[in-house]
Chain A
Amino acid sequence: MPKLTVDGIEVEVEAGATVLQACEEAGKEIPRFCYHERLSIAGNCRMCLVEMERAPKPVASCAMPAADGMVIKTDSDLVKKARNGVMEFLLINHPLDCPICDQGGECDLQDQAMAYGFDSSRYAEKKRAVKDKELGPIVKTIMTRCIHCTRCVRFSEEVAGVGTMGAVYRGEDTEVGPYIEASINSELSGNLIDLCPVGALTSKPYAFTARPWELKKTDSIDVMDAVGSNIRIDARSSEVLRVLPRINEDVNEEWISDKTRYAIDGLKRQRLDRPYVRVDGKLVPASWDEAFAAIKAKVSGLDGKKIAAIAGDTVDCESMTALKDLMGSLGSANIDCRQDGSKVGGPRSSYIFNTTIAGIEEADACLIVGANVRAEAPIINSRLRKRWRATNGDFRVGIIGEKWDPTYKNDYLGAGPETLAEILDGKNDFAKVLKAADKPMIIVGMGALNREDGDAVLAATRAIAEKFGMVAGEWNGFNVLHTAASRVGGLDLGFVPGEGGLATNDILDGAAKGAVEVVYLLSADEVDMSKLEKAFVIYQGAMGDAGAQAADVILPGAAYTEKNGTYVNTEGRAQQGWRAVFPRGDAREDWAIVRALSGALDKTLPYNNIDAVRARMVELSPTFASLNVPTKAEWTDFGKAGEMKSDGFMSPVRNFYMTDPISRASVTMAKCTEAFVKDTAAEKVA
């Protein structure tokens, strides 16, 4: 633990820390461009120069290891002069186009030039110009602005795992970008925009849209996958303009996927902004009262067994709670939050990511079963890659299921249950790897569980976890990777068939046969609508997708950006997001719609505000009593051993960019699909 003095303040830092970190420890701000906490150290921008006693010249603090007895000065005249010089060099070739630059107002170079820049330039020579690079539908480039910090190069190499970006040519001719034209084929490419300290890499869909100071910033939670990435929604008046990551070390660090960032333009299209009722086979606009009256006419007096509800993938826990209670009061046990018909459920440890996302960094071997992690949860895949890099490749990853490119070294073991059985019998070589590991983990995806033999697969994976000591003491290496943001919340709340109730597939079959007469779709669009033709369908949601087309009554709900909501991610971590903008037109927050409907049906639910709903959630599950921390689940028996079919596991995510009504309506996601899907991993079915 070296002790050093920074501007007269004595600090002690961990061995291996840099002088820059020691300065921060002492509360001193060090300007920087190339240094980034989550990337390797490059030391090439020279902005972080400090004075060190007994050193002949200023040292780059980001690349200098802190040592015992160092005396550092961060605010001497020498330091100021050195940084002024560096800034002057950086500005020699940087264009003075701040007024038309999208980075303006949140530009590191602009900010630091305020502190270290001269008021005028001493250079009359021509500035250099660099040809812009075409990097695909997400990242816009104005390469003349590039200051060669190489953050983007290090990010794409280290975090994203795609070797697209590089620093080619040399000296004054240096250019950052690919040597031959290539798009950045990564689900994380949007993060390059956040990393770029200048306006060289900016957001293409957001180009020339707004200045940062015009935006209202709201903290929220992403619903595009089950990771529960922490996001910040930037909105101006009633329009959501962009989504940025918030730092949460335990979940998404400071990255978000491109779908999280860019699917929001889907919220401008195909919106449901008023109730509709089907009259003579056609949906006609209606008032809330008319819509409720139509529902009441159908539902009142109907046996509860003939009513069913299915919750979709992006639903908040509040509305599921309200709908569960409403269905209960109507005497129906036919509720399900698993619209894909998967078999997850049962004891809590059987359906959450027990290891936690941050826990991946302790694991030393991983078996992935039926999950294309890169397409289903890019953020978790980047953690696996981080672990793999941290161990210099000793972190062994075995994949069962489809072939996909995880961006790190892996052992492809086989396509389906047969391989699973081989591992269990110890016949597969990877069994030795798992046996030798101290903290092995298994990730079971929906591709393995949403099949008819899901229970048997679950039992087999549990057996593997037991056999290879994946659950021992504090360590629980058994993980289920969900693809739906609402899934774990729904399971925690018990939005599953009650005593004698029907699950999704039975509801659909029942509706086709006429046994189920009313089906309430709470933003559920991925079910087979053809089976619902005979039934009276109530669709509540924000997007006019498949569910709305099949509906007899449409109740316009709020999108995730338009409501306060609680979501439980795949780890079982309950997190709350806030409303950034108001719902469109006549649309309302979803739990309030259910509450209003309950009044119209004379089954008034006992809550008048969201706090009361949340109190009810805590009653239903302790998950909601402790927000932001995943509650540990007890390891119990689950799964039903049985015959497994021989078909290979198929990931449910066929196209990363389009998985739900919002991303399907998004123009940017459509462009990405066009540009990348041909080569995305999920499409490369072996």
Chain B
Amino acid sequence: MSHLRRPAPKELQPVSFAFTPENLDKAKKIIAKYPEGRQQSAVMPLLDLAQRQTEGNWVPTVAMDYLADMLEMPAIRVYEVATFYTMYNLAPVGKNFIQVCTTTPCWLRGSADVVDTCKKELGIGVGETTQDGQFTMIEVECLGACVNAPMMQINDDYYEDLTADTTKAILDALKKGEKPKVGPQSGRKGCEPIDGPKVLKAFCGCGAAPQDADASKGDA
């Protein structure tokens, strides 16, 4: 099990946590969505909020305790949620948190190349963080973008249709502090067929596509 799924050592744990006034407002709005007496259900969005607020993109133990107080539930119930869902990091990660999908569809389409490229370019193994704290790379299970396999998620963004080269390009851009183009790297749009749209071309603005129109006429 990755060390991100174990509580960070005491040296890394901050001594206190509190929402910023801005996040506190957000938290209150989130809590208000749940019916009276069911405020504890807000624990998941609030954990996410806490993770985003924390330097290093993780949930320290004090933050969980803070949420337990806020939602009037035993701290252990918050720990249970935070340790169950893998999207909550229990230890700090790099500024760019790379999650490479290595489930079967991505793997068949070459996710091993993506992982290898990351390893080579960043000089880290799976589950490790670079010395400068810029990158952490982990393998994850299916992120639901199989049509654009192979893919990886960096922070909140999906980078799809990867090859070794495009992966390197993305990493290089990130190293320079640039923001690479999000989505498919092969030039296709969204998850349309790899060699261009086949249907409804008239509506997608990609060519006159008389073919479809003709076909419909013929049928008529």
Which residues of A approach B to under 8 Å, CB–CB? 157, 163-170, 173, 178-180
Contact = CB atoms under 8 A, between A and B. Distances in A.
B153 interface: no
A179 B76 contact: yes
B7 interface: yes
A105 B154 CA distance: 54
Interface string B65-83: 0000000011111011001
Nearest to A168: B83
A169 B76 contact: no
Nearest to B10: A180
A143 to B, nearest CB: 15
A166 B76 contact: yes
A178 B84 contact: no
Contact of A179 (B7, B73, B86): B7
B75 A163 contact: yes
Interface of B: 1, 5, 7, 61, 73-77, 79-80, 83-84, 86
A173 B76 contact: no
A133 to B, nearest CB: 12
A178 B76 contact: yes
A180 B61 contact: yes
A176 B98 CA distance: 30
A157 B84 CA distance: 19
A164 B76 CA distance: 6
Contacts of B80: 166-168, 179
Contacts, number: 37
Contacts of A180: 7, 61, 79
B79 A157 contact: no
A166 B84 contact: no
A555 to B, nearest CB: 51
A354 to B, nearest CB: 34
12 contacts: A157-B74, A163-B76, A166-B76, A168-B79, A168-B80, A169-B5, A179-B7, A179-B61, A179-B79, A179-B80, A179-B83, A180-B79
B83 A163 contact: no
Contact of A173 (B1, B7, B74): B1
B71 to A, nearest CB: 13
Given A163-B77, A168-B84, A179-B83, 10 more contacts: A163-B73, A163-B74, A163-B76, A166-B80, A168-B83, A169-B1, A169-B84, A170-B83, A170-B84, A179-B76
A168 B83 CA distance: 6
Q: With a 10 A CB-CB cut-off, give which of B7, B61, B83 has the most chain A CB atoms.
A: B83
Q: With a 10 A CB-CB cut-off, give which of A157, A168, A173 has the most chain B CB atoms.
A: A168
B73 to A, nearest CB: 8
What secondary structure prevails in chain A residues at the interface with B? loop
B5 A166 contact: no
Nearest to B64: A179
Contacts of A168: 76, 79-80, 83-84
A327 to B, nearest CB: 54
B197 to A, nearest CB: 41
Contact of B79 (A166, A170, A173): A166
Contacts of B84: 168-170
Contacts of A170: 83-84, 86
B7 A166 contact: no
B21 to A, nearest CB: 28
A178 B80 CA distance: 9
A173 B5 contact: yes
A430 B77 CA distance: 32
Nearest to A393: B37
A165 B76 contact: yes
Q: With a 10 A CB-CB cut-off, give which of B7, B77, B84 has the most chain A CB atoms.
A: B84
A163 B7 CA distance: 18
A179 B7 CA distance: 8
A178 B84 CA distance: 14
A177 to B, nearest CB: 9
Contacts of B79: 166, 168, 179-180
Nearest to B68: A163
A164 B75 CA distance: 8
A164 B79 CA distance: 11
Contacts of A167: 80
Q: Which 5 residue pairs spanning A and B have beta carbons closest together? A: A163-B74, A179-B79, A166-B76, A168-B83, A163-B76
B61 A169 contact: no
Nearest to B73: A163
Nearest to A163: B74
B33 to A, nearest CB: 22
Q: With a 10 A CB-CB cut-off, give which of A157, A167, A180 has the most chain B CB atoms.
A: A180
B19 to A, nearest CB: 21
Contacts of B5: 169, 173
Contacts of B1: 169, 173
A163 B77 CA distance: 8
A165 B84 CA distance: 15
Given A173-B1, A180-B7, A166 B61 contact: no
A156 to B, nearest CB: 9
A76 B133 CA distance: 61
A624 B76 CA distance: 47
A588 B207 CA distance: 108
A166 B84 CA distance: 11
Nearest to B61: A180
A180 B7 CA distance: 8
